[in-house]
Amino acid sequence: LVKARYPWVLLALAAIVGTFFSRTWRWRVLLGSERVGFWPTQTALLVGQAVNTGVPMLRSGDVTRALWINRLHSVPLSRALTSIALEKVWDLLALCATGLMLIIWVPLPEWFVQSTWGSLVMVGFGLTALYLLVRWRRGLRVLASWVTRWLPGQAGRWVLPRVDSLLSALASMRRPDVMIGVGAYTALTWSLGGMANWAVMRAFGVNSIDGAVFLLAALMLGSAVVPTPGRIGVFEGICVAGLTLFGVSADLGLAIGLVLHLVVLVPALLMAGVLALFSLRVGRSHGVPIPSADGDASGQPSVLPEVAEYHE
């Protein structure tokens, strides 16, 4: 660690901070809401990431992120959750593309090859389901309207606005500008992540772009399969095991893993804390109203223009 060239670590830090911005821009495109500014969106994203770091089970951070932007900025909860789910689909697409590229160019262990093919199957099913939802959303709206008539009490009035919000979020995926924007921001996010890996490796005298890209994919796969608080131990273990495939010793791989883990973890937690405190202070000083779970600040259901056509 003492012999590391820390200017490269600064480059890695800059790349990681860059991913905060690219992911925020991507989420804003998926949300399709101009009412929420850049910094509130980034605050919700990083707060959710911080919660996922501490409590990774059941994707608690994703729920926290959706609740945060719903309660403080009146984004319908179902719309926020749908946008996060779409975000995961895009990341899975990026993972598959990265895995295929590595399989073609680099001899890799069987577990990675099988994981890549498994991810491709999941993406295939997910894209098929997404296509059907987008293609038949008007029919689904009619079906939901019919079903809610048979629900007891106020259940129908509770369910239908959430279905509207879900279908509105899915409708945005038919727009080429949304698809291009989300795809570009996803590519930028993954490129910056790979750059951070490469820069930390360079800090220890290891120059392997293939290794940096493999580490990017392996860390995503491994952290999803074995979620631990802060990814402590799992993160470093993946770095050691992964980098040995590229001729890096276990001791050096551990040093790279420790520094890379700090580079990934510390800026996110610091920015989440600062932005959250600032957001809450501003909210209190301006008396921000608390909306209903899927409505605007007045508590009324929020039906966006894309869904309004269903009522005509």
CA angle 144, 27, 233 (to 5 degrees): 110
Handedness of CA 274, 280, 284, 289 (dihedral sign): positive
Confidence of residue 296 (pLDDT cuts 50, 70, 90): very low
pLDDT at 20 (0 to 100): 97
Residue 130, pLDDT > 80, answer no
How does pLDDT run across 284-295, given as a tens digit for each residue?
554 444 444 444
Amino acid type, 123: V
Confidence of residue 75 (pLDDT cuts 50, 70, 90): confident
The neighbour count for residue 209, using CB atoms within 10 Å, is: 12
Domain range list for the chain: 6-311
Q: Collapse the DSSP code of 301 into the 3-class scheme (helix H, G, I; strand E, B; otherwise coil) and give the result.
A: strand
Displacement of CA 205 from its chain's centroid (Å): 31
Residue 204: phi and psi, rounded to 5, are -110, 15
Question: Taking a C-beta distance cutoff of 8 angstroms, is the pair 46, 68 a contact?
Answer: no
CA angle 121, 123, 128 (to 5 degrees): 100
Interval 57-65 mean pLDDT? 85
Question: Taking a C-beta distance cutoff of 8 angstroms, is the pair 185, 29 a contact?
Answer: yes
What is the C-alpha R_g of the chain? 21
How does pLDDT run across 79-109, given as a tens digit for each residue?
888 889 889 889 988 998 998 899 888 888 8
How does pLDDT run across 232-264, given as a tens digit for each residue?
888 999 999 999 989 999 999 999 999 999 999
Confidence of residue 175 (pLDDT cuts 50, 70, 90): confident
Confidence of residue 298 (pLDDT cuts 50, 70, 90): very low
The rounded distance, in Å, linking the Cα atoms of 311 and 163 is 13
pTM: 0.80
